[in-house]
Structure 1
Amino acid sequence: MMQMVGKKVGEGGCSEVFEWGGGNEQIVKVAKGNTIADAVKREFSNSMLVWENGLPAPRPYEFLEVDGRPSIVMERVHGESLMEHFFRYLMQSPSEIDQTDDNEDVIKITARLLSETHRMNNLPLPSQKEMMVHSIRSAGYLSEFEKVQVIEHLKGLPFKKQVCHGDPNPGNIMVRGDHAVLIDWMNASTGNPEADLAEYIIMIRYAILPPHTPSSAVARFDSLREHIIEVFCEEYRRLSGNSLDEVEDWIMPVAARKLCADAIGEEEKALLLAEIRSRL
């Protein structure tokens, strides 16, 4: 099996990504030790379901093990992630930024992909609220009483049955030419679109850039955070025709769910914790 694994082409909080099969059209996502086989099987099942229903997702091919680690063989998306685009933008000099006029268009890509995803209803995906309750209960940082308060708030929110991605961060959006796709459907669910929107808002508002990021880029991102959120929300509202009045109610439970994420550090979790406690 290992002879089919090529060079490493990416890495996230839960997996490493390698070329697969000696060609250039497939990759294999190999789980890290913090991800159990059932979670990878769920990602494969979710990915197959959304791909078969025409949502903007790469094609999954096979669930297997690579060197004893649960893995998924998938279509390779040749292109650039929005994360890579944003970092390149932040690193530009002021004179280069003055010449950049497409950054708002890039922000709108996420709104477009989510509005397209949320139009799909009633796919047999896991329950969003059940997944969130499990994550909140297993997260550290909050006291048991605080967890009960957050879960009671969550259970009181309206119940919907739309397809939600669960992790619409810029690293999970790949752009190839004029098209974009959402990758990493492990946390996909049937539920409330407002949770996806709250996830995006929280991420932009509280994300901590890597420690090697130049201070000028950090300052530029800090100055743009609320503008990015505004552009995203306005585009989603325009495309979906929905008001975003309910999104605010999802900020607290989504932030609580994120406390169990391996991909974010202690500084960001401290910000999320303060946000949660300010709302309790």
Structure 2
Amino acid sequence: MIKLAKPNTGEAELQREYKNTLAVWELGLPVPQPFGVLYVGKRPGLVVERIHGMSPKERLFHELLQQDEGQLRLPTNDIKETARMLSQIHQHTHTALPSQRDYIARNILSVDYLTNEEKQTILSMMDAIPIKQQICHGDPNPNNIIVSNRRHFFIDWNDTTIGNPEADIAEYIVMMRHAILPPETPSKIIHLFNQMREGIIQVFVKEYMLHSNIIWDEIEPWLVIIAARKLHADAILEEEKKLLVKEIRKKLKDPEPQ
């Protein structure tokens, strides 16, 4: 299949995604095989193996539509499998991948939602964390996974780096806790999902810790760092960015873990 670039994405970014995907695919990780970059008309595209299936987000929302509020059930299989597969990815390293710290710092410094003092405070917090050298996906949200024949494949490796796996866990938590669903999402799904957010996070973190030696105290400092990084993303709504800024400033004012 060909993944065509968005209007704001150039060939250089697709070449980076191709190289990142190839690096992790060669390690035998659960990713579609990449084949290269080509042009369709004037648009560059990444040629990758087609994986037929649904994302955990699609599966969850389909499940929510079938549920009654009075008998709300949290489907845990996809949540646990995502945590388990992410822990497997984090067991590897690769010298060809870029630095997580450099990538996050560039993202944070580019945003217009924070003051320079706030940015430097957050970067100082990151500098104080011991550096690790493990493969990190960079955006492990349920839209970037395809479930096919009971296997979970991670896609969209554009943000892949070498660094601290706790940042990936923080990405999942921040997304799950603060994501604003698109306005076209059925109101029933929005209502039920809002009730499930913290339960999903608890299941995910508990399962991940079962398969790694990482503890919560290592994850917690990354929450404000990743929230600041996400302000750089163009795929989230302005309402969500305002919510993230509010949470960041609350955390900077009261840095003690909750």
TM-score, with length taken from structure 2: 0.93
Deviations 1:1-59 (A, max 9, x none): xxxxxxxxxxxxxxxxxxxxxxxxxx101111211222111100000000011111110
CA distance in 1, matches of 2:126, 2:207: 26
Aligned match for 2:79, one of 107, 111, 114: 107
Query: Which residue is 1:59 aligned to?
Result: 33
How far 1:96 sits from its partner (Å)?
11
Matches within 5 A, 1:115-126: 115-126=87-98
Inter-partner Cα distance in structure 2 for 1:217 and 1:178:
24
How many Å separate the matches in 2 of 1:64 and 1:258? 29
Q: Which has the higher contact order (CA 8 A, sep 6+)?
A: 2
2:109 and 2:41 map into 1 onto residues whose CA distance is 32
Corresponding residue number in structure 2 for 1:272: 244
Report whether the alignment pairs 1:73 with 2:27. Answer: no
CA distance in 2, matches of 1:97, 1:71: 44
Give the deviation of 1:95 after TM superposition.
8.5
1:150 matched to 2:134 = no
1:47 and 1:57 in contact (8 A); partners too: yes
Which residue of structure 2 aligns with residue 41 of structure 1?
15
Equivalences for residues 23-38 of structure 1 within 5 A:
27-38=1-12
CA distance in 2 between counterparts of 1:155 and 1:241 reads 21
**Alpha-carbon distance in 1 for matches of 2:220, 2:197:** 17
Q: Where does residue 255 of structure 2 map in the other structure?
A: none
Q: Mark the CA change 1:94 to 1:36 in structure 2 (over 3 Å): closer, same or farther.
A: same
Deviation track 1:221-271 (CA, whole Å, cap 9, x = no partner) reads 111111000000110011124323211100111111100111100111111
Which residue in 1 is equivalent to 2:228?
256
Q: Corresponding residue for 1:14?
A: none
Cα distance in 2 for partners of 1:72, 1:97 equals 43
Number of corresponding residues: 252
Give every structure 1 segment of 4 or more consecutive aligned residues whose post-TM-superposition deviation is greater than 6 Å.
95-98
**Does the alignment pair 1:219 with 2:191?**
yes
Q: Cα RMSD over matched residues? A: 1.6
SS of residue paired to 1:240: coil
Shift of 1:144: 1.8
**% of aligned pairs identical?**
46
1:92 is aligned to 66
Higher mean C-alpha deviation, range 233-242 or range 125-134: 233-242
Cα deviation 1:127-148 (Å, max 9, x = unaligned): 0000001111111211122111
Retained in 1: the 8 A contact 2:89–2:135? yes
Q: TM-score w.r.t. structure 1 length?
A: 0.86
3-state secondary structure, aligned to 2:138: coil
**Residue 147 of structure 2: which of 163, 167, 175 is its match?**
175
Letter in structure 1 aligned against 2:150:
D
Distance 1:62 1:93, change over 3 A: same
- CA separation of 1:226 and 1:96: change in aligned 2, threshold 3 A: closer
Given residue 159 of structure 2, which amino acid in structure 1 is its aligned partner? N
Distance 1:96 1:76, change over 3 A: farther
Larger strand proportion of the pair: 1
